[in-house]
Amino acid sequence: MSSVSVSEVIGNEGAGIPLTLPDGRAFTARLIDQAMKSAIERTYQGRALQAVMEMKPALTPDEYRDQLAELAKRKAAGAYRFTGLMPLFDTPDGFFVLAQHVFGVDEDAALGMAVASPEELKLVVRQVMEESFRPNRAGAPAAAQP
């Protein structure tokens, strides 16, 4: 009896998509799976919480509580779901968040990649989006476009 991995079933099997910078550093982009979607969602939720925390000194206790309640409402309404965040990936900040996750690097490394090889980075991230959400792939959102 043969064993089939979850990655094979959902179509996320493979070595990834390589990117080599002019200085010889090599990176590999992974396709976006459910775990990565969740990590990206947590990144945006964390950023929203951090913004409220930074405003705390300027807020009254009631305003602070209201801001936290608003964050909870937004989360419950799905504001941080991956499919709802997809339009943000067309912005420079959203693109860098996406690049950090698909390459498994920090913000500085993603910025360095963009400075060293901007067009190649865009092509690889676009390929990741296309391959991650092609229509015949299990779990792909119906309207996912890079």
pLDDT-based confidence at residue 117 (cuts at 50, 70, 90): very high
Q: What is the pLDDT of residue 145?
A: 44
Distance of alpha carbon 134 from alpha carbon 121, whole angstroms: 20
| Tally of residues, the chain | 146
Q: What is the pLDDT of residue 87?
A: 87
Lowest mean pLDDT, pick from 32-41, 62-71, 79-88, 122-131: 79-88
**Angle between helix 92-103 and 107-116 (nearest 10):** 110
The answer to whether residue 12 scores a pLDDT higher than 80 is no
Q: What is the pLDDT of residue 3?
A: 52
Q: Tell whether the torsion through CA atoms of 9, 30, 102 and 17 is positive or negative.
A: negative
For the whole model, what pTM was predicted?
0.76
Break the chain into its structural domains and give their ranges: 29-131
Average pLDDT for residues 127-131, to the nearest whole number?
92
Q: How many helices and strands, by DSSP H and E, does the chain display?
A: 7, 2
Contacts of 84 (CB under 8 A, 6+ apart): 78
Average pLDDT for residues 91-101, to the nearest whole number?
92
